[in-house]
Amino acid sequence: EVQLLESGGGLVQPGGSLRLSCAASGFTFSGYTMTWVRQTPRKGLEWVSAIGSSGDSTFYADSVKGRFTISRDNSKNTLYLQMNSLRAEDTAVYFCARDDVAVVRGIRVGYYFDSWGQGTLVTVSS
Amino acid sequence: DMQMTQSPSSLSASVGDRVTITCRASQSISTFLNWYQQKPGKAPKLLIYAASSLQSGVPSRFSGSGSGTDFTLTISTLHPEDFATYYCQQSNSPPHTFGGGTKVEIK
């Protein structure tokens, strides 16, 4: 059974830092792109960052670029999100998700998040 | 960034009703469109990927259609456990943006 378990959330002051972790089990972690998604009541679901299976390619939303760093340790089956220069608007529940791809006759026809963690709450407030 | 617009933002329905939710992309995304269901306090759950492919384990009363910019999620016969919020998401180009959600409530 695929399991993703986030940790590291909490209360942090504006300008502070936090590192989220996502421990994966039940699948070959090194074979999948992984993504962080966050959710707030006001903005809904927001794609934050993604990292390729080997860690050599990373992607960021404009809202976090230059402040957040995604990484992974395939030997530990763990995904990370280092969050620096945190702002009030970063307050959210952060989910990690596994990316999968649909292929039909050798052509990629879809990318989707087929497994999600339970989420960890990050609150940025003084 | 690609904008995803869902409608309606909420609806009231009864058990047994047929429910249709629409999602419109600001640009053509072919069939790179997914649908998720979310219940309070839980993570989203994948229902439909690539516009019309049913995720394993999801009941067949859920179906998706569309291509280009206009997409539809249909629940053929609403069950009590289907009262939730539904989100579309495009995966054609990063960032893989989500729609604003449609809350399906009990009438």
Query: Residue A117 corresponds to which tokens in the numbers above?
Result: 């963690």
| pLDDT of A41 | 86
For A43-59, how does the pLDDT look when each residue is reduced to its tens digit (9 = 90+)? 899 999 999 999 999 99
For A81-99, how does the pLDDT look when each residue is reduced to its tens digit (9 = 90+)? 999 999 999 999 999 999 9
Please state the φ and ψ torsions of residue A106, each to the nearest 5 degrees: 80, 0
Measured CA to CA, the distance from residue A115 to residue B33 in angstroms comes to 16
The shortest CB-CB distance from B46 to any of A114, A117, A118 is to A114
Mean pLDDT (chain B) is 96
Burial degree of A68 (CB within 10 A; 0-12, 13-18, 19+): buried
**Long-range contact set of residues A66-70: C-beta below 8 Å, sequence gap at least 24:** A70/A36
CB of B46 less than 8 A from some CB of A: yes
| Closest alpha carbon within chain B to A103 | B50
CB of B87 less than 8 A from some CB of A: yes
Give residue B83's Cα distance to chain centre: 13
Confidence check: pLDDT of B107 > 90: no
Measured CA to CA, the distance from residue A14 to residue A43 in angstroms comes to 19
pLDDT band at A42 (very low <50, low <70, confident <90, very high): confident
| pLDDT of A81 | 98
| pLDDT of A28 | 97
Confidence check: pLDDT of B1 > 90: no
Residue with tokens 């067949």: B60
Residues of B in contact with A102 (CB under 8 A): 49-50, 53
Q: What is the mean pLDDT of residues B54-83?
A: 97
Taking an 8 Å cut-off on Cβ atoms, the answer to whether A112 and B101 are in contact is no
